[in-house]
Every structure is written in C-alpha cells, then in structure tokens.
Amino acid sequence: MEAEDGDEHAALKRSTLTEKHAAAAHRRERIAVALLQACSGVFIVAIGLLIAYLTVEGTRLFFTDHKTVAEFLFSPTYSPETGQVGALPFIIGSLAITAFAVLVGGPFGVAVGVFFSELAPKPVAAMMKPAVEVLVGIPSVVYGWLGLTLLVPLIRAATHAPGFGLLAAGIVLSIMILPTVITLSEDALRAVPLTLREGSLALGATRWQTIRRVLLPAASSGLTVAVILGIARAIGETMAVQLVIGNSPTLPRGLLNSASALPTQIVMDMGGAATGSLLQHTLFSMALLLLLIAMALIVAVRFTLRSRA
Amino acid sequence: MLKIARLAALLLGAIFIAPAVVQADSSSITAAGSTALLPLVKAAAETYQAEHPDVKISVTGGGSRVGITQVAAKAVDLGDSDILAGEYPTLVDHRVAVTGFALLVNSGVGVSALTKKQIQDIFSGKITNWKDVGGKDQNIVVINRPRSSGTRAVFIQTFMGGSPISQDGLVEDATGTAVSAVISTPGAISYATFTGVRNRGVTLLKINGVSPTDENVASGKYSFWSYEHIFTNGVAADATAKFLSFIQSDRKLVRQLGYIPIGDMKVAENDR
C-alpha cells in the first residue's frame, strides 16, 4: 500500500515535470513561430510598400503631368526642362548593352559551366570554383573602374573614338554576368541524371557528342534560366555601366557611340530632381519600367522551369 | 495575423524612429551640394571642428541642385550651390566666396583661345572639328556635366544664350572626373572651377582673349564666374549660423583653396 503510494507520488511528480517541460517547449515554440512569422510579415509588407510606392510615383508622369505612355516609351527626346520626357534613348541603351552582354557572356559562361561540370579534373575545378565566387564578390564599382582605366583607353587606341560608349559598357557587363551564368549552367548540367551520360557513352558517343546531343538538350531549361538571370543581372547594373558608357542622353548610332541606360540616367539625374518636378516623375517612371522588366524576367524564369516539368 | 501585423508595425516603427533619435543632437551640422564649393566647406569644417570640439560637421557633394533640393527638404542644414534657388522661397542665401570657371581642352587639340561665339557653336553641336576654330583636324569630344550640376548651369547662362546644349556629348558627374576625362580623351573640351583645374596640368582657354585668372575675374574682364552660395532653410540655427560666419570671415582659407573672397570683387551682379 505504502509502496504503491510512493510509486504513484513519483509518477505524479514525473508527469508534472514533463508537463512543465512540455509547457516551456510549447512557449518557446510559440515565440519562435511568432518571430519567424513577424520577419516574413515585415518582408511582405516592405515588398508590398515598395511596389505600391513605385507604382504610384511611377505613374504620376501619366496621371499628373498628362504625358502619354507612348511618348515616354517611344520618343527619342529626353529634355524634361522643356517638357520632353522620351525615355527611348535609355531603353535602347539598356537593351543594347544587355543584348551584347548576353550574346558574348552567355555562350562563354555556358561553355565554362560545361567545362566545370563535365570535363574539369577535380583539382582544376577545386581551384577555379572559388575564383568564380570571387568574381561575384567584387563590387561593381571596381569592375567599372577597371573598365575606365583599362578598357576605355584600349578601345580609344584601337578605334580613335573617345572610348566611352556601348561597346565598353557591353564588355564590362559581359564579364559581370559570367559568374551568374557559369554557376547556374553548371548546376543545370549536374542535375542531368548520370544514366543519360552513361547511356550515351555506352552507345559509343564521344564526350563532345554526349555534351552536344544529350546533356545540353537535357539541361536546356536550366541553361535558359541561367541566361535569363544573367539578363536580370545586366539590365539593372548601374555603377559599372555609368563609369564607361559616356552618359549621353541621345539615341546611340553605333557600338562606339556614347549612350545612356535606364539605371545610369536615373543615378545621373535623381540628385537634382526636385520633389514633384517633371524630371522626378520621369525618373520614377523609368524606375517603374525597370521593376516591370525585372518582374517579366522572373515570370520568364518560372515559366521556363514549369514547362520542363 | 493581428499579432504579425503588430510586430511588423513595431519593427518598422523602430527602423524609422532610430535615425530620428540619432539626428536629434543639436550641435551637429550637415552640408551637401556643389562639388565646386565642396573643398572650401570641407576645409572650413575641419578647421572649425578643431577649434570647437563639441560641434560635428559632415559635408558631402552631390551637385548644386542636390544641395538645393536637400536643404529645401530639410534633409541637410546647409545646401551648397553655385546657382540661386528662386523656386524655393524659404531658402536664405549666404554668399561665401566667388569662384572662377575655366574652359579646358585636351592638350593635343592645338587651340588655346576661343571666342564666346565659338564656344557656343561647339557646345550646341554646330562646330564638330577643331580645324574649324584654328586647331588640328580632329573631332571635338564635348564633355558636359549632368543636370544636377551648378557648373553646367553657370556655363549655360554664360555662353549658350538660349540655344540648347547638344545632347551628343559625354556626361561626367563630378568636377574631378570631367577634368580627368579631358586629360585622357583626345579632342575633349569641358568646363570646371578654377579649384578643380589647379595642378592638373590641363590646357585652359582664353575666352575672348582674356586669361582665366583670379585677377581677371575680380576686375570683371573675365565673365565665366559665379558666387558660391550656402543656403539655409529659414533663419540659421545658432550652431549653423556661427559656422556660416566663420566661413565668410576666413579670407585666407578662401584664397588658399583657389576661390576669390567676395570683398576682392570690383564688379557685382552677374548673379545666377
């Protein structure tokens, strides 16, 4: 009887202890979850506010100043002080340097990705992977400065043009998108099942035939994403481009001409744009346009990834 | 969900309130604006802080229009500018010095003097080769400053006489980078403050036959100059007012840095 009592007592004590532990764990759980929720809540609110703010400010040009979307997008004359708000020179400038970067840096980056994933001996890959990561970590002003001190004089010497212009900006961007394209295309190729490689090689295909006929088609959607994210990296680049592009707010007539891009023109003019001025509204519309381009690129990435599945 | 919103609001609130608390320190002075005036304000701030350890002064550039918009928005205490700020009636003007501006060219163009008319034709895009103004057969590369620049505004008012600047030129966003670009780019021409071209080994042009010197500015023979303004939003607060009168009284510093003390001027007006 007494022994049973003791047992019961101990059991009761144990159960209270466990309950206490459980309660404490529960409390911590609630706090942790609440904190995580709060962080994501702040994040969502911040993103929402940002998009809403840019949308409101970026459309004032059309609603407050009664400019047409067509003038903004297609007029080649940018002179807000005389009421002309054409952003075509900057749209063309952005598209030109981004296209250049993707045409030059894209294939090059995919090629290096193939090398890393399929051909590189382990020690070589081990040495070069960190080198690619360093490329990501270099601040863009450093790329721009190197472009200004090395590339611009080189182009000047080779062509007798001033050196500043689309070509210089395009080359700098080609280098800047490399890490993105290399890393993502390597990942895409590594994701191709080993059995495909083995099957191809077992059929007697060479490594190049395997890469060209089997791996690249199999990884095509991943490679497309690599290039799209390269585009996203290029179109928003500001500092490096601003230092070498020449910043002329006119339609470029050739690769060697000085030009300007959407982000660089924003940074050149925003300091002096008085609140509520036509200039400020135009710059906000350009920022909104950049946001829309970024969104379109993300949608394109989603679409590419889904179409594979 | 309510809890999340409350926490989010709290965090956001903290983000906005924290800087306000830091800024509440009354003996700190902030200045921004004209890169033409920057060397003077910077040097004056250093000397003044050495004499008054309780005052903290932070000075940045950005361009004259930046200085004006920032001080009008009360983002800074002092807005530095080469130009007037007529569109903001609350701003109070304090003239601190005069600065001369020079037309500078790449040393290879073979030209050392231009007339006002020639300068206007070059910057409006009518003349595109140096041989048309007596120089070598070489394309002219015009280097401008951006819209936010007071130097650009003074240049336009002095030379352009209503005809627009050609948009084809390069644009460099600070005095220093513009001067560097002229030095390194064959055929280049640009404009900058006397302070900005000192000791840079760059060719300065005579304008209508007059050399760009302090004496010629002071006597009124050389017309490319302007007053340097520091704007305050309303009447300056005590600490700010003391610093302002310190800058205005230190003629030696003004001369040392390549500006011209207002008292040396034999002509007035010409305000932009």
**CA-wise closest residue to A98 among A287, A262, A277, A271:** A262
| Helices within B100-232 (DSSP H only) | 116-123, 150-155, 175-184, 194-197, 214-219
pTM (2 d.p.): 0.82
Angle (deg, nearest 10), helices A262-269 and A220-236: 20
**Which residues in chain A have their CB less than 8 angstroms from residue B147's CB?**
81, 268-269, 272, 279
Q: Which helix (H) or strand (E) holds A284?
A: helix A278-308
**Which residues in chain A have their CB less than 8 angstroms from residue B171's CB?**
246-249, 260, 268
Phi, psi of B167 (to 5 degrees): -80, -5
Find the range with the poorest average confidence among A220-234, A277-291, B1-15.
B1-15
Specify the pLDDT at position B195: 87
Q: Are A98 and A297 in contact (CB under 8 A)?
A: no
> Quick one: tokens of A171?
């080359």
Residue A18: Cβ within 10 Å count: 10
Average pLDDT over residues A196-212: 93
Chain A residues near any Cβ of chain B (below 8 Å): 34-35, 37-38, 41-42, 45-46, 78-79, 81-82, 153, 156, 160, 162-164, 242, 246-250, 258, 260, 268-269, 271-275, 279
Q: How far is B119 from chain A (nearest CA, A)?
A: 19
Nearest-Å Rg of the Cα atoms of chain B is: 21
Q: Are A274 and B79 in contact (CB under 8 A)?
A: no
Query: Is the pLDDT confidence value at A306 over 90?
Result: no
ipTM: 0.76
Q: Measure Cα distances from A240 to A163, A171, A176 in Å.
A: 15, 11, 9
Q: How far is B109 from chain A (nearest CA, A)?
A: 14
**Which residues in chain A have their CB less than 8 angstroms from residue B89's CB?**
none
Q: Measure Cα distances from A257 to A88, B147, B223 in Å.
A: 16, 21, 33
Q: Which amino acid is at A58?
A: G
DSSP state of B89: T
Cα atoms found within 13 Å of the Cα of residue B246, Cβ hemisphere only: 19
Distance separating alpha carbons of residues B59 and B79, to the nearest angstrom: 10
Which residue pairs, CB below 8 angstroms and at least 24 apart, start in B128-137? B130/B187, B134/B110, B135/B109, B135/B110, B135/B111, B136/B108, B136/B109, B136/B110
Of A249, A272, A279, the CB nearest to B66: A272
Q: How far is A276 from chain B (nearest CA, A)?
A: 11
Query: Is the pLDDT confidence value at A1 over 50?
Result: no
With tokens 């043009």, the residue in question is A161
**Which residues in chain B have their CB less than 8 angstroms from residue A269's CB?**
146-148
Cross-strand partners of B78? B31
Distance separating alpha carbons of residues A41 and A39, to the nearest angstrom: 5
Question: In terms of C-beta density within 10 A (0-12 exposed, 13-18 middle, 19 or more buried), how is residue A295 classed?
Answer: exposed
- Residue-wise pLDDT tens for chain B (272 aa)? 556 666 666 666 666 555 554 444 457 899 999 888 998 999 999 999 998 888 899 998 888 888 998 899 888 999 999 888 878 888 999 999 999 999 999 999 999 999 999 999 999 999 999 999 999 999 999 999 988 888 999 999 899 987 888 888 899 988 888 999 999 999 999 999 998 888 888 999 999 999 999 999 999 899 999 999 999 998 888 888 899 989 888 888 888 888 998 888 887 755 54
DSSP state of B235: S
Distance separating alpha carbons of residues B127 and B132, to the nearest angstrom: 7
Cα atoms found within 13 Å of the Cα of residue B127, Cβ hemisphere only: 21
Question: In terms of C-beta density within 10 A (0-12 exposed, 13-18 middle, 19 or more buried), how is residue B263 classed?
Answer: exposed
Find the range with the poorest average confidence among A167-171, A243-247, A273-277, B63-67.
A273-277
Q: Is B111 left (phi over 0), alpha (psi -120 to 50) or beta?
A: beta
Q: How far is B130 from chain A (nearest CA, A)?
A: 15
> Parallel, antiparallel, or unpaired for β B206-207 and B113-114?
parallel
Of B3, B11, B186, the CB nearest to A34: B3
> Quick one: tokens of B143?
């280097």
**Which residues in chain A have their CB less than 8 angstroms from residue B188's CB?**
162
Q: How far is A236 from chain B (nearest CA, A)?
A: 19
Mutate which: B16, B69, B71, B156, vs A, most A CBs within 10 A = B69
Task: Quote the Cα angle for B138-B140-B144, to 5°.
Answer: 160
Specify the pLDDT at position B186: 92
Q: Are B36 and A67 in contact (CB under 8 A)?
A: no
Q: Are B181 and B145 in contact (CB under 8 A)?
A: no
pLDDT per residue as tens digits for the range A241-266? 999 999 999 999 889 999 999 999 99
Residue B177: Cβ within 10 Å count: 16
Q: Are A276 and A284 in contact (CB under 8 A)?
A: no
Q: Are A243 and A148 in contact (CB under 8 A)?
A: yes
Q: Which amino acid is at B123?
A: F
Residue B183: Cβ within 10 Å count: 15
Classified as helix, coil or strand, A46 is helix
> Quick one: tokens of A63?
């609603």
Query: What is the rounded average pLDDT for all residues in chain A?
Result: 91
Specify the pLDDT at position A305: 86
